[in-house]
Structure formats: C-alpha cells, structure tokens
Homo-oligomer: A and B are copies of this chain.
C-alpha cells in the first residue's frame, strides 16, 4: 500500500541539519521574527513546526514561519 509522501520526505540540507541537531542534542539559539531568542535543544521537526526542549524544561512548539535563524550556542 502506498502512502503519499509528505514534503518532509525530501532530505534537503536544512532538514538534515535540523535532524543532526536533534540527534546530537545540540544547544541552540533560535531567533524569531518577533525578536524573541529561544534557547534549548530540538526534540522533533515536521513540515510546520520545530519542538524545542526549552531552558526551563517546557516543550515549546515553534512555528517555522516565525523563525528568522537558528545557530549553535556559542
């Protein structure tokens, strides 16, 4: 039985990089278009969202549309 593939099935460099950050529990800074900077490590990603394990232990579901950039913590 065939299931239609979703966009997330195409292994683009950015999806692979996020996948690496998830596997390595890399501490990250995520700058949002609101100006907020969120810190933590990634939990999962899908076509709409990233889930961040925040500094205070809460899971933060971030909409990708609101992301300006992501970088490893210095």
Interface residues of A (CB under 8 A from B): 4-6, 8, 10, 12-15, 17-18, 31-36, 38, 44, 46-49, 51-52, 54, 56, 58-72, 74
User: Are the CB atoms of A60 and B51 closer together than 8 Å?
Assistant: no
**A60 surroundings in chain B (CB, below 8 A):** 69-71
**A33 surroundings in chain B (CB, below 8 A):** 33-34, 66, 68
User: Are the CB atoms of B67 and A63 closer together than 8 Å?
Assistant: yes
Residues of A contacting B: mostly? mixed
User: Are the CB atoms of A63 and B68 closer together than 8 Å?
Assistant: yes
User: Are the CB atoms of A13 and B56 closer together than 8 Å?
Assistant: no
Besides A33-B66, A59-B72, 15 more A-B contacts (Cβ < 8 Å) are A13-B46, A14-B61, A31-B34, A32-B69, A36-B68, A36-B69, A52-B69, A54-B71, A56-B74, A58-B71, A59-B71, A60-B69, A61-B70, A62-B69, A66-B68
